[in-house]
């Protein structure tokens, strides 16, 4: 009897394992390669910390460091790469760059004002650079001399930022690059025994700094790792695996994206069996998935710049600059594909934001104040995509949002419902008191007429779905 019961439990486990794979939308297939340092979980995390992250949906990225001082210009020449990469430009003398910290003095930096501005934009989390590829630390790390403590400003930046954002109800995440142009032990590849020894020391340094950050800033919710693509890192999957487990043991619930990890065969983000490593897919940088199949049921996050590719402050923004409507559309698209969207800002060396960024935050914020319920706690709606924009659905409910980015000249929005559902009510978030009158066009397909006027921001229509069948007098043509 006992044996039978155990057998039953085993079968139930197997079934639920299969279901979780199916829920991911991926094929049921066996892992063909035995891995020690591959994915340790199949399917998304289900704990409260991850559920919280999943519902935040909109974040603010901050790239700030000594690269803000040249702001993409050195000796009158304009660097057309990303401003935070200027040290790697042939026109930039390394020695000059490595002495910029002596001028870093952001006297106008007001963490409470930053947090308020992010809150007004509608951001529910923020990610801030503690250390970018140049190695400059925005906290007074005891493991490096190249930190904020050595600048005229002297004071810690990270602590007051985390505190101010938390006070405004915004979760804080720490960006940390594994690249470190300032540390003599950092290597891209290991060619000699001396390289190997240096990288061993470097990894101890990385581990020390990360432990230090968690101890200093215990309210942070996760790390945002970067610069993990070099051979020296990706060929030591065991270390990335042990580091991830070490950090999550130090700080239970900590969220770490897929970018940190490699497996023992050097596969990154996805292990050699194509299983996602880490807590969410972190490969969406300056691009977004097109359709739900692209994300394979995984939690994911997209990070986006306002110009084509500038993260740190650049004095001269060239090329196309995204408008608030384009950003809102990207946010809605991300949510419609069950992902988070993080918009980047690059503050000036004095600690203030350029006017374009301030204006953008204000514009996004006014839209979010009216329409935020289509974003927060929402995800993929399960509806057929329509040309006017994006459907989102308040997770686990029958409330569906239509974020209308392209208003049809007909003034009518096509909606195709899944079988067994009818529209119970329809109204816009800008005028929730006025019911719209959906028109049934064929079985399960409706037109929602909206006011014919000039729309200057995306319109959100809320649909409440009821169970039922639409009138059945439509007959398919025989052909």
Give the residues lining the site for ligand LM5 (CB under 6 A).
Answer: 63, 82, 84-85, 226, 285, 303, 311
* Closest separation in Å from C-beta 179 to ligand LM5: 8
* Closest separation in Å from C-beta 285 to ligand LM5: 6
* Closest separation in Å from C-beta 305 to ligand LM5: 8
β partners of residue 414: 447
* Closest separation in Å from C-beta 120 to ligand LM5: 24
β partners of residue 445: 416, 442
* Closest separation in Å from C-beta 133 to ligand LM5: 6
Residue nearest to ligand LM5 (CB): 311
Interstrand relation of 300-304 and 339-345 (parallel, antiparallel or unpaired): parallel
CA–CA dist 310, 290 (Å, integer): 23
Q: Hunting for tokens 């991911």 — which residue is that?
A: 24
Nearer to ligand LM5, 123 or 403 (CB): 123
* Closest separation in Å from C-beta 214 to ligand LM5: 21
Question: Residue 249 has what DSSP assignment?
Answer: H
In the sheet that holds 445-449, the strands lie side by side as: 412-416, 445-449, 439-442
Nearer to ligand LM5, 139 or 446 (CB): 139
Q: CA end-to-end span of the chain, whole Å? A: 61
Nearer to ligand LM5, 121 or 127 (CB): 127
* Closest separation in Å from C-beta 74 to ligand LM5: 17
Separation in Å, CA 261 to CA 40, 127, 205, 206, 242? 12, 19, 18, 14, 10
Nearer to ligand LM5, 37 or 63 (CB): 63
Nearer to ligand LM5, 85 or 173 (CB): 85
Nearer to ligand LM5, 88 or 235 (CB): 88
CA–CA dist 197, 199 (Å, integer): 5
* Closest separation in Å from C-beta 7 to ligand LM5: 50
Nearer to ligand LM5, 63 or 268 (CB): 63
Contacts (Cβ under 8 Å, ≥6 apart) of 245: none
Nearer to ligand LM5, 343 or 426 (CB): 343
Which among 145, 175, 187, 219 has a CA at the least distance from the CA of 65?
175
Which among 219, 126, 215, 217 has a CA at the least distance from the CA of 175?
126
Nearer to ligand LM5, 308 or 384 (CB): 308
Contacts (Cβ under 8 Å, ≥6 apart) of 253: 47, 48, 49, 221
In the sheet that holds 125-131, the strands lie side by side as: 255-256, 222-226, 171-177, 125-131, 58-62, 339-345, 300-304, 281-285
- Cα dihedral 83, 84, 89, 91, rounded to 10, equals 60
């Amino acid at each position: 009897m006992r044996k039978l019961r155990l057998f039953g439990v085993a079968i139930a486990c197997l079934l639920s394992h299969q279901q979780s794979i199916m829920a991911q939308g991926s094929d049921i297939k066996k892992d063909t390669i035995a891995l020690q340092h591959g994915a340790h979980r199949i399917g998304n995390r289900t704990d409260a910390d991850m559920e919280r992250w999943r519902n935040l949906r909109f974040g603010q990225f901050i790239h700030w460091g000594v690269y803000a001082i040249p702001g993409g210009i050195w000796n009158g020449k304009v660097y057309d790469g990303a401003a935070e990469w200027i040290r790697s430009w042939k026109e930039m003398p390394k020695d000059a760059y490595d002495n910029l910290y002596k001028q870093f003095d952001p006297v106008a930096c007001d963490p409470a004002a930053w947090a308020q501005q992010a809150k007004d934009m509608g951001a529910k989390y923020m990610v801030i650079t503690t250390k970018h590829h140049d190695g400059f630390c925005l906290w007074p790390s005891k493991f490096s001399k190249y930190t904020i403590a050595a600048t005229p400003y002297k004071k810690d930046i990270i602590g007051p930022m985390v505190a101010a954002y938390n006070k405004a109800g915004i979760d804080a995440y720490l960006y940390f690059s594994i690249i470190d142009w300032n540390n003599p032990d950092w290597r891209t590849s290991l060619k000699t025994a001396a390289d190997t020894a240096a990288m061993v020391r470097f990894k101890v340094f990385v581990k020390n700094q990360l432990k230090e950050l968690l101890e200093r800033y215990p309210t942070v919710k996760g790390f945002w790792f970067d610069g993990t693509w070099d051979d020296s890192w990706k060929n030591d999957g065991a270390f990335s695996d042990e580091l991830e487990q070490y950090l999550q043991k130090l700080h239970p619930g900590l969220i770490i994206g897929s970018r940190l990890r490699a497996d023992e065969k050097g596969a990154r983000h996805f292990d050699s069996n194509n299983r996602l490593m880490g807590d969410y897919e972190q490969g969406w940088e300056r691009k977004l998935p097109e359709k739900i199949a692209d994300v394979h049921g995984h939690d994911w996050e997209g990070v986006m710049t306002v110009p084509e590719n500038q993260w740190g402050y650049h004095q001269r923004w060239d090329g196309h600059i995204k408008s608030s409507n384009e950003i809102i559309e990207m946010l809605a698209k991300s949510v419609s594909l069950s992902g988070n969207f993080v918009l980047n800002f690059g503050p000036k060396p004095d600690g203030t934001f350029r006017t374009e960024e301030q204006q953008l935050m204000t514009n996004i914020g006014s839209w979010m104040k009216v329409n935020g319920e289509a974003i927060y706690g929402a995800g993929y709606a399960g509806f057929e995509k329509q040309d006017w924009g994006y459907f989102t659905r308040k997770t686990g409910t029958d409330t569906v949002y239509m974020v209308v980015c392209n208003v049809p000249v007909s003034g009518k929005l096509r909606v195709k419902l899944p079988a067994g559902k009818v529209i119970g009510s329809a109204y816009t978030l800008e005028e929730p008191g006025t019911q719209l009158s959906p028109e049934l066009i064929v079985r399960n397909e409706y037109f929602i007429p909206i006011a014919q006027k000039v729309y200057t921001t995306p319109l959100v229509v809320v649909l409440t779905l009821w169970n039922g069948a639409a009138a059945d007098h439509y007959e398919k043509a025989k052909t």
